[in-house]
Amino acid sequence: MTTIITAHEPHEFLAIVPELAGFRPVQSMVLVAFRGSRSCGALRVDLPPDGPPDGPPSEGLAPDGPVGADAQNAVASSLVGMLCKIPEVDAVVPVAYTAARFGAGSIPPHGEFVNALIFHAEQSGFLVRDALCVAADGWASYFDTAVPRGGRALALIAAARQPATLDDQRGPRSDQHGGLVGQHGPGPERAPANRATKQQIGKLIARFRAMAVDPVALGEPSAELEALLDLPGIAETSLDAPAGELSMLHAAALLFTMQSAPSRDVLLLQWAFGAAAGVVAELENERFVAGEPGAGAQSARLLWGEGPRPDPKRIEAAIALLLELVARAPRNCKPPALTMLAWLNWALGRSSRGGVFLEMALAINPDYGLAGLLDSMLRAGHLPEWAFAVPLEQPTPRQVRRSDGRNARRADRRAAR
């Protein structure tokens, strides 16, 4: 069933932006893209900090330190360039989420960067419907010339939320890093397994390793051998396993398998694109080992983000599974699973969240190859091609009517009562 959410005023629009994005943005610039009156996606990057220095931006879209006009202009141009890749988008609303404050003033923070975004968006032919800021102590439109001191009341946004219309009545609970809202830091929402569980998983992984180099053991019927022979099936059925019900044996088999880079990539592609993609990747591995020229190119393109859109439902299921595996895994076995979590989040357009998992993987093993490669890709702002292939007909479009914000003062007075 199609769900239409209509926002008549800017604060009503701000109430649904986290739901459109799928998370609560923190220190972020979000570009909400439109086809006509319907939103069709949201792009997010870290908000460049205000500051006096000028010069080239640091690697990636979001500089690490304070930047001046030249660098902010370059970041704005890059972000609008990403918007241009989404088919048939004709309008945009930039929304800045910042820990900065209005204080005693009435000018929204980060105005220089937002002005650069507006300039590049209009130069590229986009209608800028509005430009908004949600600060620590208030919100406002950059187009509003009558903003009160301290900005408009954040309570207006909270009051405008429509939980009954959303799939999750609480709305998105995590920020873009994957941490629960209100936590001190980002990270996976899974409690670590107890020591005994990790020890048992470690012993099973050691058993699998021994079997891999012992032909005699491989010839002896055992539960471990049965698991090794049915890894594609285990990988598939594990996606549907309820949380906490994955057996120790199957968890250890999956963790053991992903310690090998070729097998890890097969698992990753199977979970993202389907069982058939896993079979193709396995055949490509065999041809690569046999020295066939060009073998592995198809899998490499998918891993780079070139090809058809992966199945979001499978990816979400794989993320849940990998979070459980990371929680159970001995520390030295975690980097492959953490790196796979990073790739899967990146594939869904959650680069910031993917970056958190890469930091965790590289903290354990700074030389883990795929983690280093993905880290370079994310820092360079590389996104998969399918991130921009937004379907022309969305299953649950959000309709937002343009507002000039002239009723905001009346809304302020209502909230004050």
Q: Is pLDDT at 98 greater than 60 in this prediction?
A: yes
Confidence grade of residue 297 (pLDDT, cut at 50, 70, 90): confident
Q: How confident is the model at residue 370 (pLDDT cuts 50, 70, 90)?
A: very high
What's residue 167's pLDDT? 41
360 belongs to a structural domain: no
**202 lies in the same domain as 170:** no
132-149 pLDDT, tens digit each: 999 999 999 999 999 999
Which among 369, 376, 371 has a CA at the least distance from the CA of 357?
Answer: 371
Place of tokens 């105005």: 111
- What is the reported pLDDT for 182? 34
Give how far Cα 237 sits from Cα of 240, 275, 332, Å. Answer: 6, 11, 26
Q: Is residue 373 a part of any domain in this protein?
A: no
Q: Is 170 found in the same domain as 39?
A: yes
407 part of a folded domain: yes
| 15 has a pLDDT exceeding 50 | yes
Distance CA 350, CA 184 (A): 20
Binned at pLDDT 50, 70 and 90, residue 67 comes out as low
State the residue range of the domain holding 339: 195-349
**What total number of domains does the chain contain?**
2
Q: Note whether 168 and 236 are same-domain residues.
A: no
Residues 45 and 138 grouped into a single domain: yes
**Does residue 364 form part of some domain?**
no
Distance CA 122, CA 75 (A): 16
Q: Are residues 200 and 270 in the same domain?
A: yes
160 with 204, same domain: the answer is no
Residue type, 27: Q
Residues 299 and 260 grouped into a single domain? yes
Q: Quick check: is 18 in a domain?
A: yes
Tell me, what's the pLDDT at 59?
A: 34
Beta bridge partners of 128: 92
Domain limit, last residue, from 349, 374, 405:
349
Q: Residues 6 or more apart from 176 whose CB is under 8 A from it?
A: 21, 23, 24, 25, 26, 28, 44, 350, 352, 353
Same domain, 235 and 168: no
Residue 136 lies in a domain: yes
Same domain, 148 and 261: no
Distance between CA atoms of residues 243 and 223, nearest Å? 22
Confidence of residue 191 (pLDDT cuts 50, 70, 90): low
Query: Which helix (H) or strand (E) covers residue 149, if one does?
Result: none
Distance from C-alpha of 332 to C-alpha of 62, rounded to nearest angstrom: 31
Instruction: Out of 69-73, 196-200, 291-295, 357-361, give the one with best mean pLDDT.
Output: 357-361
Better pLDDT: 288 or 358: 358
Indicate if 119 and 204 belong to the same structural domain: no
Give 116: exposed, middle or buried? Use CB within 10 Å, 0-12, 13-18, 19+.
buried
Q: Are residues 310 and 408 both part of a single domain?
A: no
Measure the CA angle with vertex 29, ends 33 and 385; round to 5°.
Answer: 55
For residue 269, pLDDT beyond 90: yes
Give 143's Cβ-side CA count (13 Å radius).
16
User: Does some domain include residue 388?
Assistant: no
Whole-angstrom distance, CA of residue 170 vs CA of residue 24: 12
Among 349, 378, 407, the domain boundary falls at 349
Within a domain: residue 371? no
* pLDDT value at residue 185: 37
Same-domain pairing of 122 and 264: no
Q: Is the pTM of this model over 0.75?
A: no
Read off the pLDDT band of 217 (50, 70, 90).
low
